Amino acid sequence: MTKVHNFSAGPGILPQEVLKQASEACINFDNMNLSLLEISHRSKNYVKVMDEARQLVKDLFEVGDEYDVFYLGGGASLQFGMVPMNLLTETGYAAYVNTGVWASKAIKEAKIVGNTKVIASSEDKKFNYIPKGYEIPADADYFHITSNNTIYGTQMKQFPKSPVPMVCDMSSDLFSRRVNAKDFALIYAGAQKNMGPAGSTMVMIRKDMLGKSGRKMLSMLDYQVHVKGESMYNTPPVFPVYVSMLTLRWLKEHGGVAWIEKINQQKADLLYAEIDRNTCFTGTVVQEDRSNMNVCFLPTKPEYEAEFDKMAKANNIDGIKGHRDVGGYRASIYNAMPIESVQVLVDVMKEFESKFA
């Protein structure tokens, strides 16, 4: 089978060994001679999957029983509404930083639920940087940030110290680098970047945050219900959770977040160095805020794009087309992306310059 170098922004690349195990489970799961897709989610065989998937999050984040972990459907976009429903009181307000499309959508949903204030934004320069130097209000119910921005290619390299509970959407850089998870009251992430297939979202919440809003809400939207149900109040997204468990197990067995952080930095350094060196391409983001997950760049001449597309395709490079809001190219180099594939892209960029510059 021809090797394809998959730079898709999401759903993104997964480890080959994980895909193999997952495919086998679709035929014969846990030596039951039954498919994972057709067994009861209440069976002991699947319950242990859910238990491990939840515990692995705590292990990789290095937190204890002060946090609960559960998996939900609806994608991270559902959390844009669930976060304020569960944390925003009727008399209080939430503070948000706007760093891109997904942060903007989170703000939009929060405003529907209650009083929401944007305390910093990089919209003035088309989100090509991360705001800094802003003050987090000490009387807010919570403070919300987005750690990495897939569309614009920016990433928070350091997290602010918050006087109020801090909430973070880590959908596109979850477990890609070490963070002090105990600084956060709640972390959520769609699975389809660094964990598994689309269809599941991981939520980790500090227990003292449960029941904070005082709101009456539908059971399916209440964090307390999902914690009490041990992530199985209703039928969970069985297959995405299983693949997420395998991916997290793969990460832990290979050395955990510290291991993958080094590799991710090497990949990012390799690609950004070529972007900065190559006369045919230019980066789109302020250098200090460049994402290690989503590398965005433009051709220096519009006419280069069609030719580079042909060369990329000829070298089995897939998924590097930039988002329509930015244009150009976006190479997503998530945890499972091997450095060898990044080297292929760099070599093609060098070859392109030798032919067309």
Q: C-alpha angle with apex 132: 128 to 137, nearest 5 degrees?
A: 130
CATH 3.90.1150.10 in the chain, residue ranges:
256-356
User: For the packed helices 238-253 and 44-61, what is the interaxial angle rounded to 10 degrees?
Assistant: 50
What was the pLDDT predicted at 146?
98
pLDDT tens per residue, range 260-277: 999 999 999 999 999 999
**pLDDT surpassing 90 at residue 304:** yes
pLDDT tens per residue, range 2-38: 889 999 999 999 999 999 999 999 999 999 999 999 9
What was the pLDDT predicted at 110?
98
**pLDDT surpassing 90 at residue 138:** yes
Distance CA 250, CA 18 (A): 8
Residue that is written with structure tokens 């477990």 in the block: 175
CATH fold label, 256-356: Aspartate Aminotransferase, domain 1 (3.90.1150)
What was the pLDDT predicted at 354?
97
- Residue 122: pLDDT band by 50, 70, 90 thresholds? very high
CATH 3.40.640.10 in the chain, residue ranges:
16-253
pLDDT tens per residue, range 62-103: 999 999 999 999 999 999 999 999 999 999 999 999 999 999
What was the pLDDT predicted at 3?
87
Active site residues: 102, 169, 193
What was the pLDDT predicted at 70?
97
At 296, phi and psi to the nearest 5? -105, 135
Q: Which of 147, 220, 225, 129 is nearest to 190 (CA)?
A: 147
Burial class (CB in 10 A: 0-12, 13-18, 19+), 218: exposed
Burial class (CB in 10 A: 0-12, 13-18, 19+), 66: exposed
Name the percent of the chain lying above pLDDT 70.
100
Architecture of domain 16-253: 3-Layer(aba) Sandwich (3.40)
pLDDT tens per residue, range 237-248: 999 999 999 999
Side chain identity, residue 40: S
- Residue 325: pLDDT band by 50, 70, 90 thresholds? confident
**pLDDT surpassing 80 at residue 1:** no
* Across 224-228, average pLDDT: 97
Q: What is the mean pLDDT of the chain?
A: 97
Cis peptide before 299 (omega within 30 of 0): no
